[in-house]
Structures are given as C-alpha cells and as structure tokens.
Amino acid sequence: MRASVQPVVIRRAVALGGLAAIVLLVVLLTGGGNAGSHTLYATVSDATNLIKGQELKAGGGKIGVIDDVRAIDGGAKARLTLSVEDRAWPLPKDTTFTARFGGTAAFYNRHILVTPGKEGGASLTEGADIPALDFRVPVEVDQLLSVFDTDVRRDLKSFVNRSGETLDRSQEPLRKTLDKTPQAITQAARVFEDLTDDRNALSLTLTKTDDVVDAVRRADPGLERLLTGAATTFSAIADKQTQLKTTVERLPGMLAQTRSTLTKAEGTLDDAGALATKLHPGVRQLRTIAAPLNDVLASVQTIAPDANATLATVRRSTPQVNTFLKRTTTLTPQIGSIADKAIENLNCIRPYTPELMGLLTTWGDFMSWSDTKDKYLRARVENFLPTPTNDVPQTPAQLKQTFPDLRYGFPRPPGYNAGQPWYIDECGAGKDAVDPSKDVEGAASFTNKIPTAAGGTK
C-alpha cells in the first residue's frame, strides 16, 4: 500500500514545484504586478489603438502602464485607468500626458508620453481625474484624409495647376512691382507731409472756397436777370436786321472811302442776325436751367462743412499714416524676399502633384468607419507587446548592406515610386537622395542613442 502511494506523492510534489516556478517566473517578468503603484484616470474623446498593458514613459524609461480601457457614453468617449510606479510618484499637477504612435511608420503599439510639470507646486492625488486639456491624443490619418473628398481633391488639383502657371507668368511683373513699391510709398508719404506742413494755408483755402460758393448762391437772382436781358438784346438785334441793312445801303455817299469795308460787314451782320435767331431758343433753355443750378449750388454749400471736417480728420491722421507708410517701406524688401522664396518652394512642390493626388485617392478612407455611402465596422483584433524603443541603431548605409533589395530615397525625388525618378538638385532631391551613404542623418552628429531601462543612454 505504501509503495503505491509514494509515486503519487512524488508526482504531486513535482507538479506543485513546477507551478511555483511558473508563478515565480511570471512575477519576475512582470515586475511583481502593480504592487506599489498609484492610479490615475483620464476621459478622452478618442482612444484609437490604446490597449491594456501599453506603457507610460518619461525620460525614455517606463514609469507605469495602462491598466484598463473602457468605452463610456455609448462609445462616444473612453475611460482610461493608468497605473504609475512609486519611483515616479507623486506627479506635479500640471503634468501632461500624450498618446504617441509606436514609430514614424507605425499606427499601432502606442505608448503614453508623460511630461512632468513644475516641481514644488501641487501634485496629482491618488485616483485623481486628469484634466482633459492635459491629456492629448494624436490626429488620426483618417481624420485628416477624410477632409479630402472628391470635390476637394478636384479643386485642390485645379488650384495647384493654376497657381503654378499664374506664379510663373507673374513672377517678373511681381518682382518689378516690389522693386518700385518703396519709391511709391515714399512719394505718398511726402504728399501727406506737404498737406500738413502749412495747416493755416489749407484751412484758409477751405474757408475762401466756402465763401465763393455762398456768393455764387446769393448772386443767383442777378445772374437770371442778366441772362434775361441778354435774350431781350439778341431779340431786338434780330428785329432791327432789315433797318440796319437799309442804313448801310444809304451810307455809300457819305462813306465812299469805307464802302469796301462795309460791303464785307454786310455779310458779317447777316451771320450775326442768323446767330441771334439761333440763340433765342437757347436763352429760353438757360432760364429753365437756372432753378436746378440754384439747387446744385445749395447742395455744394451744404457739403462744404463736411468736406472741411473730412480734411481735418485727414490732417489729424497724417502722423499715423506716415508711420504706417514708413514701416511698410522698411518691410517691403522682406516681403519681396518672402515672395521670391515662396515661388521657389512652389516650384519644388509642383513636381510632386502626382504623388499628392495618389496619396489622397489611395488613403482617403484608410481606417475610416464609412465609405461615404454606408456605415460599416472594420476590426482588427490583435495584441501587441509594448516596444521598449523605437530607435534603430543602424545608419541607412548599414541597412542597405543588410537588405540589398531595400529601395531607398530620402528625400524621395518625384516619380520615384513609379520607377521614373525626376531628380531636382535645387530642391534637395537630386541623385544623392537615393544614395544611402550620403544620408545626412547617418552622419556622426545624428548617431542614435538607445535609452536604457533606467532612463539613461548607452
């Protein structure tokens, strides 16, 4: 009987020992769980790809983990439970938390970057809710690209094409305009200075103009009588035309020496008679115009004070205008330089138009919940272990040697993706851009530093 029990006891002891070893290994690997940690909560509007177990990092080292991610308000928000280790506690109250991508080309495997606030002030308490302004989430790719729908992409393409042509055509006129603008502004400033130099003379001119307008208005009845008298005189001359002709014909005996002159005067008087006849209707029209002219002069008199006040306002504002014009004159060379650089930059952007439109077309609905017609669910259920570092210790040249088939281009020349690169040396996208050994980030000054578990570097 004892012989049969002993093997069973031995097997149980071995099993218990193995189980204890597994528990010890788990404890060692997980750092003993969350013992000695402190809990904080955060409510965010978007917790895309944030999962339980991802790390909280500060200074390049781990200081905690995400304990739980739970949807609230019907999925409109997410409630995060954060666990902070003893060695990083307490955190200043103005500490900020930022959800970061796993890497420059990784949308998943994220972590929370903790940026401690100022020391010496208030601290976050156990179980506190992190203020919404202190917890930041990144802008997702689909949020950015969903703005570029079909109409926006079409309009953007049209804008890029037309702006390039417009800037090419207007480059020279714009440069000439910017060159001449300082001279024009200087002359305008001098005009305003001249207007304000002799303020007494300007005020006297306005006063005399007002007096003249008033005198014309008051003299209106006399002007009407003058025109009426002129009309009567012309009418009388027209009536006496025949008598004047007879008198001239009877004068040859008395004025023999002036006969030839009077013969020529006869034709002149005939023309004068015809002119008087033609002027008669016009004089009647002048009488009709007199009344509206009176109203016009009255309006001029009414406007004169407003004009005087306007010029006074201009006189008071002249110092500020002069200051503005002088400042504009000083900034004109900088504006011209900015315009020149903008033209150069657009010339470097235009060759990338196919890549820009291809990106918007291909990635427009990436990670989106809608295809602009129907709502659907796209899910990828995975579990990611936190990445201790996102740095790559190898230079681009070393990676090219390790992976000979690796395509390389930084900055990538236009058309590189299609196998038809367009090298633009003046834009920094020449043949050196596809040579890993000439990558500026591979130089000694850009050597990557790998963070250690204690927060230092090696």
**Structure-model confidence comparison of residues 195 and 428, the more confident one:** 428
Cross-strand pairs, 103? 106
295 has a pLDDT exceeding 70: yes
1 has a pLDDT exceeding 50: no
Amino acid letter for position 275: L
CA nearest to 434, candidates 445, 426, 425, 443: 425
- Domain range summary for the chain, segments of one domain joined by +: 1-33, 34-140, 197-350, 396-446
Worst-scoring range by mean pLDDT, 30-34, 194-198, 237-241, 254-258? Answer: 30-34
Average pLDDT over residues 58-84: 92
- What pLDDT is attached to residue 453? 42
Whether residue 43 contacts residue 49, with contact meaning beta carbons closer than 8 Å, is answered with no
Q: How far apart are CA 28 and CA 54, in angstroms?
A: 18
**Structure-model confidence comparison of residues 63 and 417, the more confident one:** 63
pLDDT grade, residue 305 (50/70/90)?
A: confident
Average pLDDT over residues 255-284: 72
Averaged confidence pLDDT in the chain: 75
Task: Map 160-191 to HEC letters.
Answer: HHHHHHHHHHHHHHHHHHHHHHHHHHHHHHHH
Q: What proportion of the chain, given as a percentage, has pLDDT over 70?
A: 65
Residue 28 parent element (H or E)? helix 2-30
CA nearest to 80, candidates 134, 143, 14: 134
The verdict on whether omega for the bond into residue 90 sits within 30 degrees of 0, i.e. cis, is yes
Q: Which of 17-26, 49-58, 189-198, 349-358 has the highest mean pLDDT?
A: 49-58
Worst-scoring range by mean pLDDT, 190-204, 269-283, 352-366? Answer: 190-204
Q: What is the pLDDT of residues 138-163, one digit of tens each?
A: 888 777 777 788 888 888 888 888 88
- Residue appearing with tokens 């006496």: 240
Sign of the Cα pseudo-torsion (420, 423, 429, 435, in order):
positive
- What pLDDT is attached to residue 136? 92
User: DSSP string of 402-437?
Assistant: H-TT----SSPPTTTTTT----BGGGTBSGGGG-GG
pLDDT grade, residue 355 (50/70/90)?
A: confident
User: How many other CB atoms are found less than 10 A from the CB of residue 139?
Assistant: 8
Q: What proportion of the chain, given as a percentage, has pLDDT over 90?
A: 15
HSE-CB at 322 with a 13 A cutoff on CA atoms is 14
381 has a pLDDT exceeding 50: yes
Q: Which two tokens stand for residue 7?
A: 């093997």
- What pLDDT is attached to residue 33? 43
369 has a pLDDT exceeding 70: no
User: DSSP string of 173-239?
Assistant: HHHHHHHHHHHHHHHHHHHHHHHHH-HHHHHHHHHHHHHHHHHHHHTHHHHHHHHHHHHHHHHHHHH
